[in-house]
Amino acid sequence: MSRFFGPLQLAGLIAAMAILAAPVRGEVFELADGGRVSGRLVNPDESPRKTYVIETLSGGRITLAADQVVGRAALSPKEAEYEKRRAAAPDTIDGHWSLAEWCRENFLSPKREFHLRRILELDSDHAQARAALGYRRVDGEWKTHREIMEARGLRWYRGHWRTEQEIEVLQRKDQRDQSRKKWYGLVSRYRDWLDGDRAEEARKAILAIDDPAAVNAINDALAKEELREVKALYIEVLGRINTPEAADALADCSLEDNDQEVRLLCLDQLKKEKRPNVVAGFIRSLRSKDNMIVNRAGTALARMGDRSAVGPLIDALVTRHKYTLPSRNPGNIGAGFSNDGSGGLSVGSQPRRVRVTHENQAVLDALASLTGRSDFGFDVPKWKAWYAQRNQAPKIDARRD
């Protein structure tokens, strides 16, 4: 017998079919014994909760006591589909491999690993499962990448395989960094105290600093400081710490600080012992594009008293530097430098680059201090001839009697 549906009946039938065809989202229920059940809660409105009546994704129904369930979470459509496939799959190698491949295609990595490991329980020599889990054959044995790397003495640390020595270096660096951060806070606090009632306490605290990790904080504080008296405290601390980093900080200050007394305090600390690296740094500064730094380097080298600086000082006696002259209003005539560095008059409105020749008195004073001579003045050729003659190797008479 045929049956005909009216418009409303047909619409209702289509809606019902759509509901039945829609994917079941469901939930996963975590059990107190470590198990889990996936499905739809049939009695969601029960209160107080005594039981969980769950319709599983495979179509069955189970009832659990409330204290058997310790957690629950919504399933995504993909997870719900997985639970359906898992319930229907046989506990065989092929069944688990099929599920593992489906999980790989759907980016369900933890679930894929579960099925691959179940395959190894069924067949410990399953090559595909071993390879998928990262195993390799080494001397006839299956080993994970971790086992291989650890056998080489490496350890996974901060996203990389590293040797124990590399890890120790990183850990020591972390400790230094933490200590440096601590000193930034302490030095800042002591500086604030210097301006208040705790000034004497702050002064003693600063002078008591002897941790090499404090050098960066002291150096930064020195660069920002304006008062000579406070700078003197920092300089004394750097001199007492006396690490290469502290010496570098003093050397930088001796060249860059605008206060001559502060620069000389730095040099007083540096000259207490021979410092080839510091001397080498001052020699490099003789080639600075800034003529002021050239002369300050000359003063520093005189204080260091290292005669290895004589040759570079001769080269820095007379230097040429480029300067940009500011623009002037058109038609104005003003004094300036010509291109060869000599004085003259200039007319124009555009900034100009000029070369200026400087005779560096501080460099000459350093040469006089280190050599005992000042009669050559700024005559570079005479200085070079003298220096070459002084350093000429003695002639050896190879004749035999």
In a domain, 221, yes or no: no
pLDDT tens-digit series, residues 133-164:
989 988 889 998 889 999 999 999 989 999 99
In a domain, 164, yes or no: no
**What was the pLDDT predicted at 323?**
86
> Can you tell me whether residue 273 is helix, strand or coil?
coil
Nearest to 376 by CA among 368, 315, 301: 368
In a domain, 33, yes or no: yes
pLDDT tens-digit series, residues 265-286:
999 999 999 999 999 999 999 9
Q: Tell me the HSE value of 222 on the side-chain side, using a 13 A CA sphere.
A: 32
> Cβ distance 38 to 26 under 8 Å?
yes
In a domain, 143, yes or no: no
**Mean pLDDT value of segment 364-368:** 96
pLDDT tens-digit series, residues 38-53:
888 999 999 999 999 9
Residue 7 has pLDDT above 50, yes or no: no
Query: 246: Cβ–Cβ under 8 A, 6 or more apart, which residues?
Result: 212, 215, 218, 238, 239
**What was the pLDDT predicted at 20?**
35
In a domain, 27, yes or no: yes
**Mean pLDDT value of segment 198-225:** 95
Q: Which domain holds residue 29?
A: 22-88
In a domain, 209, yes or no: no
Residue 11 has pLDDT above 50, yes or no: no
Q: What percent of the chain has pLDDT over 90?
A: 66
- Please give the Cα distance from 399 to 134 (Å, whole number): 78
How far lies 191's CA from each of 184, 198, 201, in Å?
A: 11, 10, 11
247 or 329: which leads in pLDDT? 247
Angle at 190 between CA 184 and CA 192, to 5 degrees: 105
Among candidate residues 43, 72, 88, the one where a domain is terminated: 88
Query: 351: Cβ–Cβ under 8 A, 6 or more apart, which residues?
Result: 324, 325, 326, 327
Range in 119-123, 247-251, 311-315, 348-352 with the lowest mean pLDDT: 348-352
**What was the pLDDT predicted at 83?**
84
Among candidate residues 58, 88, 118, the one where a domain is terminated: 88
In a domain, 65, yes or no: yes
**What was the pLDDT predicted at 174?**
85
Q: How many CB atoms lie within 10 A of CB 218?
A: 23
Query: 391: Cβ–Cβ under 8 A, 6 or more apart, which residues?
Result: none
Residue 205 has pLDDT above 60, yes or no: yes
- Please give the Cα distance from 277 to 258 (Å, whole number): 23
**What was the pLDDT predicted at 328?**
61
In a domain, 279, yes or no: no
Number of structural domains found in the chain: 2
Q: Write the secondary structure of 89-146 as one string of H (helix), E (strand) and C (coil).
A: CCCCHHHHHHHHHHHHHCCCHHHHHHHHHHHHHHCCCCHHHHHHCCEEEECCEEEEHH
**Mean pLDDT value of segment 96-104:** 95
Among candidate residues 72, 88, 104, the one where a domain is terminated: 88
Range in 79-83, 246-250, 272-276 with the lowest mean pLDDT: 79-83
Report the CATH number that the domain containing residue 82 is assigned in CATH.
Answer: 2.30.30.100
